[in-house]
Amino acid sequence: MREIVLDTETTGLDPLNGDRLVEIGCVEMVNRITTGNVFHVYINPERDMPQEAFNVHGLSAEFLSDKPKFAALADEFLAFIGEDTLVIHNAAFDIGFLNAELDRAGRPTIRRDRVVDTLALARRKHPGGPNSLDVLMNRYGIDSSRRVKHGALLDSELLAEVYSELLGGRQAMLVGLVEEESAAPRLVAVEAVAARQRPTPLPSRLTPDETAAHAAFIQGMGEKAIWNSYVATDGEPSAN
């Protein structure tokens, strides 16, 4: 199963009011494990950079001025994401910007039904509390020391770790592993753990008459009866 963890950076908050994309970062996951295959671009927004947005991601208009425009990158972006599920934190924000850019470039927009919103997942798993990416990383012990400023590719890599934890962490990735395209599912060996024995065995729930009747029944089955391996000659259970 292929999924794409995605994040964007922008010039502001409203794609319908002139704000534009400036960065896209995508991380590929297969069977909930990152593959190392990524898509990362900086984009010329064809406008100025408000100070508030620069303070968030540190991308200046001067830095972006020689970067390609979205229309020149649209086909490469669409080819990378294919028709696979997109995993996004606060997905409505990113999809709103992506679809505005795709529509402007005359490309098909992204359907909402192919998107997993990790913010919605987090709110169901941790109701009543803040569920920003920073809060979730702290909650799950994910190292965020590299995150001095927001960056689309780095945030996608961190979100991939958060997503795995939201689905149950490492244990979830091991359950049902792994069906390869050209092979049958592999069985994963697990270490057997001996059952703990009671320090004092429970007393028998059989009466003496019931025990004697059972022993007589076993004797009537002959010497080769398998029950002889489990019942002693005096009618009490064998230690075997």
List, in sequence order, the alpha helices (H) in the chain.
51-57, 61-64, 70-81, 91-104, 118-125, 133-139, 152-166, 170-174, 208-219
Q: Which tokens in the block code for residue 222?
A: 């002959």
Q: Which tokens in the block code for residue 199?
A: 């320090």
Choice among 40, 57, 89, 150 that is catalytic: 150
**59 C-beta neighbours (distance < 10 Å), count:** 24
The 3-state DSSP class for residue 75 equals: helix
Q: How far is CA 10 from CA 40, 59, 99, 165, 231, in A?
A: 14, 9, 13, 27, 78
Q: 126 an active-site residue?
A: no
Annotated active-site positions, please? 150
